[in-house]
Amino acid sequence: MNYYNEIKDTLIKNEMYKKAKDYSKNKSDLNSYYEVGRLLIEAQGGEERAKYGNKLIKEYSERLTKELGKGYDVTNLKRMRQFYLVIQKGAPLEHQLTWSHYKELLAIKDLCKLKYYIKITEHLKLSKRELHEKIKSKEYERIGYKEELSEPKVNTLIKDPIVIQSKNIPEKVTEYALHNLILENMDEFLKQLGVGFTYAGHEVKLKIGNNKHSIDFLLFNYKFNCFAVIEIKVTSFKAEHIGQIKKYINYVDENIKEPFNDKTVGVIICKEVNGYVLKYCTDDRIFTTTYELIGG
């Protein structure tokens, strides 16, 4: 079998297909590069020998570049070979992702981690740049993703810890001070919190019976079509925090959210999470995370 000619024919067909059917070029790219990766592995005598078979790739690269033009340098052919291997090992081949997405992903060695970023990119329609930022911020490690989740949910996207950075961190951090530190850079706070959160208000006034209350922050998550009540605590997580935020969630559901919105969720951001208390909070609308203050 002439592996070089097979690889060349696959790449030529891909270029022709992309010109004729631009709307599905991502699928064509991925299928073609997967096939090229397979052929390269076979040409090099299998996966184990392919690790040391860079001489053949260099030869093919020079010939393809001369005959077909740019885009087939040694680095790209190695990526195609690696692309085939990671798909073979169980990573999803999602045609909604582009080759640029996969090039960003191929540096990830942990298969579960790779699956997470593929799934989140497909589900949230992330650009290559957005994907890069998530990988760079180590989102996978921070949210404690579990592979058995069928799709991302609000709680799987909330990071831990939430990093709050400011040049003006006071010696004694009160809830009022922490509240103001967040307000100083709300855009960064929303990014730190997770995906899809937008600002809806702070110190939102509520009247429940004869009592007046205020929500620290009211957000809306456009990815999950729901409001999010955010409560800030500078102490460890306590049982009474559950009752408080439940009350606010129920108020928002009854008085603020529209019928077409999903149920409101609540996020308690505290200094420490007490796992024993959390164990007995059975309301799946309430999530917890911690904060970390960084000066500068």
Q: Which neighbouring-strand residues pair with 286?
A: 266
Q: Which neighbouring-strand residues pair with 287?
A: 267
Q: Give 185's contacts (C-beta < 8 A, 6+ positions apart).
A: 165, 166
What is the SS3 assignment for 112?
Answer: helix
Q: Where do the structural domains in the chain lie, given as residue ranges?
A: 3-144, 157-295
pLDDT of residue 96: 83
pLDDT of residue 275: 56
Q: Which neighbouring-strand residues pair with 197?
A: 221
pLDDT of residue 148: 44
* C-alpha dihedral, 44 to 49 to 54 to 56, nearest 10°: -20
The number of beta carbons lying within 10 Å of the beta carbon of residue 80 is: 26
pLDDT of residue 21: 52
pLDDT of residue 52: 63
φ, ψ dihedrals at 295, nearest 5°: -80, 155
Show the beta-strand stretches assigned E in the chain: 162-166, 197-208, 211-221, 226-232, 265-270, 286-295
pLDDT digits (tens, 9 = 90+) for 29-48: 888 999 999 998 888 877 76
What are 242's two structure tokens? Answer: 């559950």
Cis peptide before 259 (omega within 30 of 0): no
Q: Compute the C-alpha angle 223/190/235, nearest 5°.
A: 120
State how far the Cα of 33 lies from the Cα of 81, in Å rounded to an integer. 8
Please answer whether residues 289 and 161 qualify as being in contact, where contact means their C-beta atoms are separated by less than 8 angstroms.
yes
Low-confidence residues of the chain: pLDDT under 70: 17-25, 48-53, 143-157, 274-283, 296
Q: Give 256's contacts (C-beta < 8 A, 6+ positions apart).
A: 218, 227, 264
CATH number attached to the domain at 157-295: 3.40.1350.10
Please answer whether residues 292 and 161 qualify as being in contact, where contact means their C-beta atoms are separated by less than 8 angstroms.
yes
pLDDT of residue 179: 92
What are 85's two structure tokens? Answer: 């291997």
Please answer whether residues 228 and 219 qualify as being in contact, where contact means their C-beta atoms are separated by less than 8 angstroms.
yes
